[in-house]
Amino acid sequence: MDTEDDRYRAPALDKGLDILELLAEIDGGLTQAEIAKRLGRSPNEFYRMLDRLVRRGYVTRLDGDRYSLTLKLFGLAQLHVPVRRLVSYATPFMRELAEETRQANQLAVFDRGSVVVVAQQEAPGYWGISIRVGSHISLYDTGSGHVLLAFRSQDERLMMINEYSASGEHPTLENEFFERLDQIRERGYEIMPSAQTAGVFNLSAPVLGPDGRAIAALTIPYISLVNVPQAPEMAETEAMLTRTSRQLSKLAGADFELPS
């Protein structure tokens, strides 16, 4: 007599989940034959399933014959409740940061191949640069994009870049770009002139999760404020930003300090 589990089996689904769970444990990917061997199946059993997982964006092919997970599952995990929770506990800190710095600030995440602004806080005075919630911004030439890439492994960086490039942007990335990401990771924040707006500097710092990866980037589009009493200079603003990012990282479960 069939058990309850046997009656509701879905062999194809089980096979796909087996592949995803296996690849999640492996750095560098596996060939089709290696996947079959580890799962105790024939390689032919996995050809269609791997093809569908690649076409749906959950798995990518490395060097022609190796399969590795993309970040699509991670992106799905960031949707809805987790993002709302992140925004909910970040909002009072972002509001306080805006009051202290007299500057606007925003929170961005990497979501399924896009860098998306999920929260923003207006500057308390008349002047400030703000970006609408829901805006998609560049991964390559914004402070937020740099920070989201910097606090990832090199393999994850390449997967994020591949997913982002699928949306239509294909810049040529030199070794200097990845060296810059390593420098950002070492010092704990990014500071760069805006590539979109003259006179603006992007000050960006990561919100880290328990595993040390950036789950979000907190960014101030800094402008020099004239005739604004007690408006902090850029260096002081950067210090306030990194302090706030550390606070948010601790709330997110990070148990270590960023570089000072």
- Same structural domain, 60 and 82: no
Question: 100: part of which helix (H) or strand (E)?
Answer: helix 81-101
Domain count within the chain: 2
Domain that holds residue 196: 76-251
Instruction: Spell out the alpha helix ranges (H) of 113-213.
Output: 143-150, 154-165, 175-187
Give phi and psi for 61, each to the nearest 5.
-100, 130
Residue range 116-138, pLDDT digits in tens: 999 999 988 777 777 888 888 88
Give yes or no: residues 80 and 35 share one domain.
no
Domain assignment present for residue 258? The answer is: no
State whether 147 and 57 are in the same domain. Answer: no
The residue-averaged pLDDT of 22-47 equals: 84
Instruction: Provide CB contacts within 8 A for 225, sequence distance 6+.
Output: 102, 103, 125, 127, 231
In the predicted model, is pLDDT for residue 166 greater than 80?
A: no
Output the six-digit token pair for 45.
């059993």
My answer on whether 11 and 56 are in the same domain is yes
Q: Indicate if 60 and 84 belong to the same structural domain.
A: no
Question: What is the average pLDDT score of the chain?
Answer: 84
Considering 63-77, 142-156, 165-179, 220-234, the range whose residues carry the highest mean pLDDT is 142-156
Cβ neighbours for 121, distance < 8 A, ≥ 6 positions apart: 91, 94, 95, 97, 98, 104, 105, 106, 130
Amino acid at 150: A
* Higher pLDDT among residues 82 and 122, named by residue: 122
Q: Answer whether residue 110 is part of any domain.
A: yes
Same domain, 82 and 182: yes
Same domain, 83 and 168: yes
Of 54, 69, 84, which residue sits at a domain end? 69
Q: State pLDDT tens for residues 95-117.
A: 999 999 999 999 999 987 788 99
Boundary-marking domain end, from 69, 93, 116: 69
| Lowest-confidence region among 51-55, 144-148, 214-218 | 51-55
103: tokens are 């500057």
Residues 30 and 123 in one domain: no
pLDDT > 90 fraction of the chain, expressed in percent and rounded: 32
Beta-carbon contacts of 125 under 8 Å, excluding residues fewer than 6 positions away, are 102, 225, 228
Q: How confident is the model at residue 148 (pLDDT cuts 50, 70, 90)?
A: very high
Q: What is the DSSP string of 56-96?
A: TTSEEEETTTEEEE-SHHHHHHTTTHHHHHHHHHHHHHHHH
Mark whether 21 and 150 lie in a shared domain: no
β-pair type (66-69, 30-31) = antiparallel
The length of the chain is: 260
Q: Is the pLDDT of residue 2 over 50?
A: no
- The yes-or-no verdict on residue 1 having pLDDT over 60 is no
Note whether 35 and 47 are within 8 A (CB).
no
Q: What is the mean pLDDT of residues 49-59?
A: 85
Q: Are 251 and 89 in contact (CB under 8 A)?
A: yes
Cα 144 from chain centroid (whole Å):
9
